[in-house]
Structure 1
Amino acid sequence: MESLTKNLPLLLPLIITQIIFQLTALNDLIKRNKEEIRWENKILWIIIILTFGTLGPILYFIFGRKS
């Protein structure tokens, strides 16, 4: 527990960045029509974005959007 509190100032910016990145990807996903998304499955992309941390939004922005 002591190491966590000691390293929290280093981890907090990374955690905040990841949350912002995930919220940005989810916001983009929600605003798009189903036809603008690969595989036309929003629920699948929501699961990918939330499950894979930072990698999920990266995958969405690279492979998930058609345009």
Structure 2
Amino acid sequence: MNEGSEKGKTLLAFLKAFHIDKDQKDVKMLEEPESPYNPEFVAKIKNAEKEIEDGETFLLETDSIWESMK
């Protein structure tokens, strides 16, 4: 955690408000609940997001969708 960043300062202020020391050993992060989604579906979505980030997709203009299919 970067204590100098805005988010870091906000987290420290939150912890101080509840008198929780950031080095306190008995404070644990809760695990995320199990996803209700099919793991294969989640993998497809993550793959699609990566393709978008990598520029492996193209934009299809909806105004000219029929012309592009000719």
Give the TM-score normalised by the residue count of structure 2.
0.26
> Which structure has the larger Rg over C-alpha atoms?
2
* Structure with greater helix share of residues: 1
